[in-house]
Structure 1
Amino acid sequence: MNADQAAQMTSGKGFIAALDQSGGSTPKALKLYGIDESAYSNDEEMFDLVHEMRCRIMTSPAFTGERVIAAILFEMTMDRQVEGKDTADYLWEDKHVVPFLKIDKGLAEEADGVQLMKPMPDLDALLARGVAKGIFGTKERSVINAANAAGIQAAVDQQFEVGRQVLSHGLMPIIEPEVNIKAADKQECEDLLKAALLAGLDGVADGQQVMFKLTLPSTDDFYAELIAHPKVMRVVALSGGYSREEANEMLARNPGMIASFSRALSEGLTAQMSDEEFNTTLDASIQAIYDASIT
């Protein structure tokens, strides 16, 4: 593990940009960016367009490690280039932004109030490729829709199992059991989740750490114990469907938690903007998320 990158992730001021929309969420991301589905006729063209969008964000003067300490990449983004360099190398060498890789293959059907991650039979090969490409860590997402103790425990068990596999390759896992912000019993979900995560940390070897990416909690400062835990490098927040303004307000009330926003980062950016408009809008967005992350 790169020591400079580990230091930046442990104590760097700023937030994580989530640039990892995958097959299912890409059309929506492009539509918000002002590119209609009629602009592309197949997946290849669609992914070319979303890579152009991501390149425009990553190459913007506003996007540097001074405020954006890390970025989460989709696998195809890791395999592509930015300004003639592999994406992960460009991010670290040119922008001082730590590269992470989204590794999950999407969500399984709901059972016991949760959606586990789909099986990842080729995970070891992907992790080895990530190491070779200069990736620092990974992100893996499952979703909790109801306060079902058995379901939440199953989601946490799966997350830690994958996390240990990631650690075995020398990478830093971001464990992401998202609580659906529309869950009727969101607070009860979070109560069960926190207890399960704290217990799960007992299974992490001494001297090793993981990260958590969690939904902004209903109770302010709810994850303070996780943030302070010696086996936790960082706790980051997902926006989960809240507007950027609402997400930033909630984040600012959770000291020590930093943002890892996707849609809330790119909110307001369109393909039709001039570079000046695009960079000005992105700069304001980055500053607002940064300010909320350093409280």
Structure 2
Amino acid sequence: MNNTHYEKMKTGKGFIAALDQSGGSTPKALAAYGVPEDSYSGEDEMFTLVHQMRTRIITSPAFSSDKILGAILFEQTMDREIEGQYTGDYLASKGVVPFLKVDKGLAEKENGVQMMKPIHDLDETLSRANERNIFGTKMRSVVHDPNEEGIKAVVDQQFDIGKKIIAAGLVPIIEPEVSINSADKEKCEEILKSEIHKHLDELSDDQNVMLKLTIPTKANLYKELVDHPRVVRVVALSGGYSRDEANEKLKENHGVIASFSRALAADLNAKQSDEEFNDKLQAAVDSIYDASVNKK
């Protein structure tokens, strides 16, 4: 594990940029960026275009380590280059800590949750991640309903895989997202917090994780997780909230920083001039940074 990256993630001021849209969500990300599906043919072209989009974001002067602590990458992005360097190496050269999305998407809803699909090539992916200067990983599940059995299964799966990631020398971001559309979001969050806390208490002193959670309905609900000795950082996903709404909710949660995706890139468009693109990105970065470091 890179100790410089660890200290930056533990104590640094700023937020994590989520640039990890995968095969299923990439068409939506490109469409939001002004690149419709009928403008490319096949996955290769699609991934090339999304890499161009991510490259434009990452190389922008607005994408600075002064306010951005880390960036989460899709596997295809990790294996591609920016200005002659693998993406993780390029980020590290800018002082931004690289993470990798390792999950393979969501299973069908069962017991009110969506577990992760099996990750059959995890060992090989983690080995390659270590070669690519990756510090940590991210994997996402989704909680829809306050089903205790389902939520326990989600958290069990997250931590079981998380321990394998720790054993490979990386820091896992545990992400059991609670849907903002849940009919009983607050109850889901109470159950989730309890299950996560149980697993944190079972970790040994050399096993550390990060948590990526939906901004809770009850402000500071996760404060005891923020303060847990086994937690490097708690970060929040925007979860479908607009940037303004996500920022306002985030400000109410002390010790929690952003890890936004759509809320970061919402105003960016392929047709913008470099000046307009950089200005829009800078405005987004500034507002998300402010919400991450300045609390109500």
TM-score higher than 0.5: yes
The letter for the 2-side match of 1:204 is L
Deviation at 1:171, TM superposition (A): 0.1
Tell me, in whole angstroms, the C-alpha distance in 2 between the residues paired with 1:292 and 1:55: 25
Tell me, in whole angstroms, the C-alpha distance in 1 between the residues paired with 2:293 and 2:39: 39
Deviation at 1:204, TM superposition (A): 1.4
The letter for the 2-side match of 1:203 is E
What does the per-residue CA deviation read over 1:76-130, in whole Å, with 9 as the maximum and x for residues that have no partner?
A: 000000011110000011x100000000000001110000000011101110110
Tell me, in whole angstroms, the C-alpha distance in 2 between the residues paired with 1:204 and 1:244: 34
Question: 2:260 maps to which residue?
Answer: 261
1:235 aligns with 2:263: no
1:99 aligns with 2:98: yes
1:137 aligns with 2:136: yes
Tell me, in whole angstroms, the C-alpha distance in 2 between the residues paired with 1:186 and 1:203: 26
SS at structure 1 position matched to 2:119: coil
The letter for the 2-side match of 1:191 is E
Tell me, in whole angstroms, the C-alpha distance in 2 between the residues paired with 1:40 and 1:207: 47
SS at structure 1 position matched to 2:13: coil
Deviation at 1:207, TM superposition (A): 2.9
Tell me, in whole angstroms, the C-alpha distance in 2 between the residues paired with 1:125 and 1:26: 23
Deviation at 1:64, TM superposition (A): 1.3
Deviation at 1:55, TM superposition (A): 0.2
Within 5 A, what are the aligned runs for 1:47-196? Answer: 47-93=47-93, 95-196=94-195
Tell me, in whole angstroms, the C-alpha distance in 1 between the residues paired with 2:199 and 2:187: 18
Tell me, in whole angstroms, the C-alpha distance in 1 between the residues paired with 2:118 and 2:209: 21
Tell me, in whole angstroms, the C-alpha distance in 2 between the residues paired with 1:126 and 1:231: 24
What does the per-residue CA deviation read over 1:223-277, in whole Å, with 9 as the maximum and x for residues that have no partner?
A: 0000000000000000000000000000011111000000000011000000000
SS at structure 2 position matched to 1:17: strand
Question: 1:274 maps to which residue?
Answer: 273
What does the per-residue CA deviation read over 1:153-191, in whole Å, with 9 as the maximum and x for residues that have no partner?
A: 000000000100000001000000000000001000000
Tell me, in whole angstroms, the C-alpha distance in 1 between the residues paired with 2:138 and 2:240: 18
**Displacement over 2 Å in runs of 4+:** none
Deviation at 1:68, TM superposition (A): 0.4
The letter for the 1-side match of 2:70 is A
Across the two proteins, how many residue pairs are aligned to each other?
A: 294
SS at structure 1 position matched to 2:151: helix
Deviation at 1:205, TM superposition (A): 1.3
1:31 aligns with 2:36: no
SS at structure 2 position matched to 1:143: strand
Tell me, in whole angstroms, the C-alpha distance in 2 between the residues paired with 1:101 and 1:118: 17
Tell me, in whole angstroms, the C-alpha distance in 2 between the residues paired with 1:90 and 1:148: 43
The letter for the 2-side match of 1:263 is R
1:198 aligns with 2:197: yes
Tell me, in whole angstroms, the C-alpha distance in 2 between the residues paired with 1:86 and 1:193: 36
Percent identity between the two aligned chains: 59
Deviation at 1:203, TM superposition (A): 2.4
Structure 2 unaligned residues grouped into runs of 5+ = none
Structure 1 unaligned residues grouped into runs of 5+ = none
SS at structure 2 position matched to 1:289: helix
Tell me, in whole angstroms, the C-alpha distance in 1 between the residues paired with 2:231 and 2:201: 11
